[in-house]
């Protein structure tokens, strides 16, 4: 077992990576945008386009390098509904569509309590249960068409092997469908009339089966190539550290979402109104977590015009402080009801100063998330933010913790590849460093004071 092809579907891009298990490097990578189609019947993802892209990529990787196994990781907050022939019973809803908010009151009467599921009540379709409830209301014939419900990583496993499954990390991702403390479905699937149609829950590392004959023929892969069940992407980032590190520590998985997951931290009472939740890791254990749309915020602030900041750019933001207050992406995160505002001159788009300001904002939002989950020990940053020096340095200062950066393969591809081996080794990373900087300390204090003042204004306005 040496090379694992990882299907890695993020909210922004669909990716196929070939990971070398000897050094956890990506030998080959291909990507395509994860474009949302407008409908009808509702905004949905281009699953057939992804499928053709994945088959082409698997064939090319196999010809060039060889593939020993296939694993899968995808974004959460997603479910796929299959009919009795194995085709889609309905298009896969984009979780950012606000349709489910139309039936919020009737859904709230059905959903289990946060204390049971660890799922906060979230807007749009971020609770999978809310998606299901709304789609069933929109399409009265849908319930009768649904034969099988699979979670998103396992949809791709089903396309490859014909074996339907769900996994605990995807069901445990703020769906309202899972009871983490008891490792079982909540009462909600039964209340929706779908309880018996959920595919069996399997461990992420379990082999679903060999390839379907038509997939083997199309890709050239041996039919016996094992396909592993798959995992939610943030938990893929967490897995190498669960297997190879001793608690306490926290992992910050970065991408469209920044997800902070604490292992062995200080016990805290999670606040569902601030987008804290219980995730479920690959071993089935509950993990206190908090999150916000950090990658989306960076794209909104900088986009394709992001410029690497110089030392002077960073200094111009630190003193006198130019502060960006939450929330750049409202509706989720620790400040879901806030609107972003600048204190000090807003740096122009396309400048290094703007990238610096965005990076500092993201670091302080991440530090707030870590505080909410009782972080203790080293902070491990996985994904693209691990390459952002300003982010990592201020995160260390704000949390008073050493920060280690995962390098090589992205955290999601790395973790998903490990499902094929059960290897107990932490990924390569830059040595954990604790940073101390008076200007950054002053900046963090100024930001927190300004956020507290923002809270007072928001409270007065609401009353």
Provide mean pLDDT across the span 234-246.
88
Co-location of 203 and 252 in the same domain: no
Co-location of 86 and 177 in the same domain: yes
pLDDT for the residue numbered 28: 97
Give the end of a domain, one of 197, 229, 261.
229
Give the end of a domain, one of 229, 249, 268.
229
pLDDT for the residue numbered 427: 65
Co-location of 337 and 354 in the same domain: yes
pLDDT band of 451, cuts 50, 70, 90 = very high
Q: What is the C-alpha to C-alpha distance for residues 252 and 362, in angstroms, rounded to an integer?
A: 12
Number of domains in the chain: 2
- pLDDT at residue 317 greater than cutoff 80: yes
- pLDDT at residue 412 greater than cutoff 80: yes
- pLDDT at residue 240 greater than cutoff 90: no
CA dihedral 147, 9, 403, 118 (to 10 degrees): -20
Co-location of 212 and 264 in the same domain: no
Asked, as a colleague might, if the bond just before 327 is cis with ω within 30 of 0, I would say yes
pLDDT for the residue numbered 462: 64
- pLDDT at residue 397 greater than cutoff 60: yes
**CATH code for the domain of 42:** 3.30.420.40
pLDDT for the residue numbered 131: 98
Q: Considering only 261-270, 313-322, 334-343, 417-426, which range has the smallest mean pLDDT?
A: 417-426
pLDDT for the residue numbered 171: 98
Q: Considering only 225-239, 368-382, 424-438, which range has the smallest mean pLDDT?
A: 424-438
**Averaged pLDDT of the chain:** 94
- pLDDT at residue 103 greater than cutoff 90: yes
Provide mean pLDDT across the span 224-236.
95
pLDDT for the residue numbered 425: 57
Co-location of 247 and 184 in the same domain: no
Secondary structure of the chain in the HEC alphabet?
CCEEEEEEECCCEEEEEEEECCCCEEEEEEEEECCEECCCCCCEECHHHHHHHHHHHHHHHHHHCCCCEEEEEECCCCEEEECCCCCECCCCECCCCCHHHHHHHHHHCCCCCHHHHCCCCCCCCCCHHHHHHHHHHHCCCHHHHCCEEEEHHHHHHHHHHCCCCEEHHHHCCCCCCEECCCCEECCHHHHCCCHHHECCEECCCCEEECCCHHHHHHHCCCCCCCEECCEEHHHHHHHHHHHHCCCCEEEEECCCCEEEEEECCCCCCCCHHHCEEEEECCCCCEEEEEEECHHHHHHHHCHHHCCCCCHHHHHHHHCCCCEEECCCCCCCCCCCCCCCEEECCCCCCCCHHHHHHHHHHHHHHHHHHHHHCCCCCEEEEECHHHHCHHHHHHHHHHHCCCEEEECCCCHHHHHHHHCCCCCCCCCCEEEEECCCCHHHHHHHHHHHHHHHHHHHHHHHHHC
Co-location of 256 and 214 in the same domain: no
Co-location of 338 and 193 in the same domain: no
Mind listing the pLDDT tens digit for each residue in 9-58?
999 999 999 999 888 889 999 999 999 999 899 999 999 999 999 999 99
Mind listing the pLDDT tens digit for each residue in 289-302?
999 999 999 999 99
Co-location of 263 and 143 in the same domain: no
Domain that holds residue 253: 234-462
- pLDDT at residue 424 greater than cutoff 70: no
Instruction: Give the number of other CB atoms < 10 A from CB of residue 85.
Output: 8
Co-location of 372 and 450 in the same domain: yes
Instruction: Tell me the whole-structure pTM to 2 decimals.
Output: 0.86
Co-location of 243 and 350 in the same domain: yes
Percent of residues, the chain, with pLDDT higher than 90: 87
Any long-range contacts for 97-101 (C-beta under 8 Å, 24+ apart)? 97/42, 97/43, 97/124, 97/125, 98/123, 98/124, 99/42, 99/124, 99/125, 99/134, 99/138, 100/124, 100/125, 100/127, 100/130, 100/131, 100/133, 100/134
Percent of residues, the chain, with pLDDT higher than 70: 97
Co-location of 164 and 243 in the same domain: no
Q: Please tell me the total number of residues recorded for the chain in this structure.
A: 463
pLDDT band of 452, cuts 50, 70, 90 = very high
Mind listing the pLDDT tens digit for each residue in 332-342?
899 999 999 99
Give the end of a domain, one of 207, 229, 251.
229
Mind listing the pLDDT tens digit for each residue in 121-166?
999 999 999 999 999 999 999 999 999 999 999 999 999 999 999 9
Co-location of 253 and 223 in the same domain: no
Mind listing the pLDDT tens digit for each residue in 350-393?
999 999 999 999 999 999 999 999 999 999 998 899 999 999 99
Q: Considering only 1-5, 16-20, 139-143, 315-319, which range has the smallest mean pLDDT?
A: 1-5
pLDDT band of 423, cuts 50, 70, 90 = low
Mind listing the pLDDT tens digit for each residue in 82-100?
999 999 999 999 999 999 9
């Amino acid at each position: 077992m040496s090379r694992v092809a990882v299907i890695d579907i993020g909210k922004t891009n669909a990716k196929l990576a070939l990971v070398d298990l000897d050094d956890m490097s990506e030998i080959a990578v291909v990507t395509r945008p994860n474009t949302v189609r407008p409908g009808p019947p509702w905004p949905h993802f281009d699953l057939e386009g992804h499928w053709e892209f994945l088959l082409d990529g698997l064939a090319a990787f196999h010809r060039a390098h060889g593939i020993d196994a296939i694993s899968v990781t995808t974004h959460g907050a997603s479910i796929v509904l299959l009919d009795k022939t194995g085709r889609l019973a309905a298009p896969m809803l984009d979780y950012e569509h606000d349709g489910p908010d139309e039936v919020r009151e009737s859904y709230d009467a059905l959903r289990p309590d946060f204390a049971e599921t660890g799922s906060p009540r979230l807007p749009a379709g971020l609770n999978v249960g809310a998606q299901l409830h709304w789609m069933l209301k929109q399409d009265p014939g849908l319930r009768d068409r649904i034969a099988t419900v699979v979670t998103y990583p396992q949809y791709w496993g089903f396309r490859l092997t014909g074996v339907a499954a769900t996994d605990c990390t995807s069901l445990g991702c703020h769906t309202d469908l899972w009871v983490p403390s008891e490792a079982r479905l909540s009462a909600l699937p039964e209340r929706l009339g779908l309880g018996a149609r959920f595919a069996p829950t399997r461990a992420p590392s379990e082999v679903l089966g060999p390839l379907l004959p038509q997939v083997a023929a199309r890709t050239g892969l041996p039919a016996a190539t094992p396909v592993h069940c798959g995992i939610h992407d943030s938990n893929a980032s967490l897995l190498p550290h669960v297997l190879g590190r001793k608690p306490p520590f926290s992992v910050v998985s970065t991408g469209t979402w920044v997800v902070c997951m604490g292992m062995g931290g200080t016990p805290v009472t999670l606040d569902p109104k601030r987008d804290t939740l219980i995730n479920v890791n690959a071993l089935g254990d509950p993990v206190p977590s908090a999150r916000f749309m950090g990658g989306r915020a960076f794209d909104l602030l900088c986009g394709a015009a992001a410029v690497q900041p110089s030392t002077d750019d960073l200094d111009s933001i630190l003193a006198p402080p130019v502060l960006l207050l939450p929330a750049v992406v409202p509706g989720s995160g620790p400040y879901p009801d806030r609107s972003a505002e600048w204190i000090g001159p807003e740096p122009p788009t396309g400048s290094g100063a703007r990238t610096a300001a965005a990076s500092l904002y993201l670091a302080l939002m991440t530090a707030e998330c870590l505080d909410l989950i009782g972080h203790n020990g080293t902070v491990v940053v996985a994904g693209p933010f691990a390459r952002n020096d300003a982010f990592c340095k201020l995160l260390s200062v704000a949390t008073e913790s050493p920060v280690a950066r995962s390098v090589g393969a992205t955290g999601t591809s790395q973790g998903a590849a490990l499902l094929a081996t059960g290897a107990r080794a932490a990924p390569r990373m830059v040595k954990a460093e604790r940073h101390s900087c008076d200007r950054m300390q002053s900046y963090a204090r100024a930001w927190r004071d300004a956020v507290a003042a923002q809270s007072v204004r928001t409270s007065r306005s609401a009353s």
